[in-house]
Amino acid sequence: MLACEPLIGWRIIADPSALDTAAWPAGSTVVRISPDDVYVIGVAEPTVSDPHAIVTPEHGFNGATLTAAQVADIAMRHIEWQLPSSRPALAQGQIAGVPSKLVLHADGSALLLVATAAHHELVARIGALA
Amino acid sequence: MLFVTCPNCGSRPFEEFRYGSVFPVTPEIITDDDRRNVDYAWMQDNIEGPTLERWFHESGCRRWFTAKRDTRTDEWLDI
């Protein structure tokens, strides 16, 4: 079964240009949910140039690291839409009917993100992986 | 399956979205502010053909967007 652990990160709602130009520390994972919304993991306390930005701790996601083979397995069995062909990329949508995000890395692996309240359901629906 | 193209996330199945409403367009010939408000809130045109609509990508980026759909064919004309 998938090990989907709670994540502690930061959620930043800010002007898109401030997020475009923000400098994130090396090693951090930046998930650009929408032009004005970003979720960052691995940062002590992020700052952006927008003085009106909302920067708040985000405890609402669980995550699991997937190998390239596991990504392919999930895509084949549980995703009804097309994954992006380029890497790195962010793919957002339903996986096994549960709203999820896939942070696709250049090496083919991925970070699977799902709302904490729904992670048991997603893990149960995905079941055993390749 | 019907697919909708989210401007942030790309093409996704219809089930991921929530329909908001027809994007209300008040005719310019209505000039009185109160009458414009009434028309905006209550007068649904129920257009047959290309219609501006509001959609919410509930299972993805969770953002609203405006799309143009032909209600006769379910063809997405412009997003």
Residue-wise pLDDT for A9-55, tens only, equals 999 999 999 999 999 998 899 999 999 999 999 988 899 999 999 99
Assign residue B33 the CATH number of its domain: 3.30.2270.10
Q: Is the pTM of this model over 0.90?
A: no
For the segment A59-66, the average pLDDT, to the nearest whole number, is 96
**How far is Cα A41 from Cα A73, in angstroms, rounded to an integer?**
26
Interval A19-31: pLDDT, tens: 999 999 988 999 9
At B23, the pLDDT band (50, 70, 90 cuts) reads confident
For the segment B22-46, the average pLDDT, to the nearest whole number, is 91
pLDDT in the model for residue A84? 94
Domain end position, chosen among A42, A59, A76: A59
| A99 in reach of chain B (CB within 8 A) | yes
**How far is Cα A15 from Cα A11, in angstroms, rounded to an integer?**
13
Continuous H helices in A79-110:
none
At B79, the pLDDT band (50, 70, 90 cuts) reads low
pLDDT in the model for residue B25? 86
How many structural domains is chain B composed of?
A: 1
Interval A69-89: pLDDT, tens: 999 999 999 999 999 999 999
Same domain, A11 and A41: yes
Whether A129 has a pLDDT exceeding 80, the answer reads: no
Best residue of B3, B61, B62, B63 to probe chain A, by most A CBs closer than 10 Å = B61
DSSP for A23-65? Answer: PPPTT-EEEEEETTEEEEES-SS---S-TT-EEEEE--EEEEE
Cβ–Cβ < 8 Å for B65, B46: no
Whether B44 has a pLDDT exceeding 90, the answer reads: no
**How far is Cα A59 from Cα A16, in angstroms, rounded to an integer?**
23
- The residue with tokens 């904490």 is A116
User: Which residue range is the domain that position B9 belongs to?
Assistant: 3-78
CB atoms within 10 A of CB A33: 21
Same domain, A80 and A93: yes
Continuous H helices in B1-79:
33-42
How many structural domains is chain A composed of?
A: 2
pLDDT in the model for residue A100? 97
| ipTM exceeds 0.90, yes or no | no
Same domain, A72 and A48: no
At B14, the pLDDT band (50, 70, 90 cuts) reads very high
- CA distances (Å), origin A60, targets A5, A23, A39, A116, B69: 11, 24, 11, 5, 34
Same domain, A80 and A51: no
- The residue with tokens 């055993």 is A128
B35–chain A nearest CA distance, Å:
35
Same domain, A95 and A121: yes
A79–chain B nearest CA distance, Å:
10
User: Which residue range is the domain that position A53 belongs to?
Assistant: 5-59
Structure tokens at B12: 């996704």
Same domain, A89 and A117: yes
Q: Is A15 helix (H, G, I), strand (E, B) or coil?
A: coil
Same domain, A75 and A45: no
Q: Locate the chain B residue with the closest alpha carbon to A31.
A: B61
